[in-house]
Amino acid sequence: MTNEQAAAGPGRAANGGVAVEARELTRRFGSHTALDAISLRVESGEAFGLLGANGAGKTTFMRLVTGYLLPSSGTVAVGGFAPATHAAEVHARLGFVAETSRLYPDLRVAGFLRFAGGARGLTKGALAAAVESAIERFHLGGVASRLIGHLSKGFQQRVSLAQAFLHDPALVIVDEPTSGLDPIQQEEVRGILAGLRGTRTLILCTHDLTEARDLTRRVAVLHRGKLAAMGPTPEVLGGEDPLSLFRGREASA
């Protein structure tokens, strides 16, 4: 076991998260290369943005980190653990919020959170405490007994965020967290994510450059499966035409 694995335990490392490291990470689907030899490291406790146009490889990268897909070649590790061989260890450290909420509309909010926490291995007192904490943290008390299908999209996104935090993960991956929300709902969700700084590792996948500027310290831009740019957010997105990165210019380093 590495020092990072020992420090991370089932929750967060002492500095507020776990590192994610990809080395020459590649994924092919038949003759199509969706992700092409990507190497990058997200530090423990860092807020990191993953940007790119549709089809750039962002979703493939996230699925490789979560273990939903296996690499064609190269490696990826979460806190020193490879999702392909140590799925349980990775999932204990990981919270994931999908762009399209994976919710059950016929369940009530509190019941769904109990179900999600149970699926994460929480039981009895720990489960009850985690659900209560999530309801309080994400301001769901007023809707805890309501059916998820009857909630606004903003409240459904809060529920989706809440389920990702039930097991106190060291790493949170969030895909397009404010897509389709109104400006007030966007501000609320961004405020929640901003509050994670230093307490967890955050990987934010977004098309919104303002969101990336506000919430991340560093960003990587993918284009057709390759790394087009990576570095401090103000530097990468501070040029006159940051959208040119989305159109394709491979990183020189």
Using one digit for the tens of pLDDT, what is the confidence trace for 76-104? 999 999 999 999 999 999 999 987 777 99
Phi and psi of 151, rounded to 5°?
-90, 155
Query: pLDDT value at position 248?
Result: 65
Using one digit for the tens of pLDDT, what is the confidence trace for 154-200? 899 899 999 999 999 999 999 988 887 888 888 888 888 888 887 89
The highest-confidence range among 50-54, 106-110, 135-139, 207-211, by mean pLDDT, is 106-110
Using one digit for the tens of pLDDT, what is the confidence trace for 115-130? 999 999 999 999 999 9
pTM (predicted TM-score)? 0.86
Domains of the chain, each with CATH number or no CATH: 3-104+170-247 (3.40.50.300)
Using one digit for the tens of pLDDT, what is the confidence trace for 128-148? 999 999 999 888 999 999 999
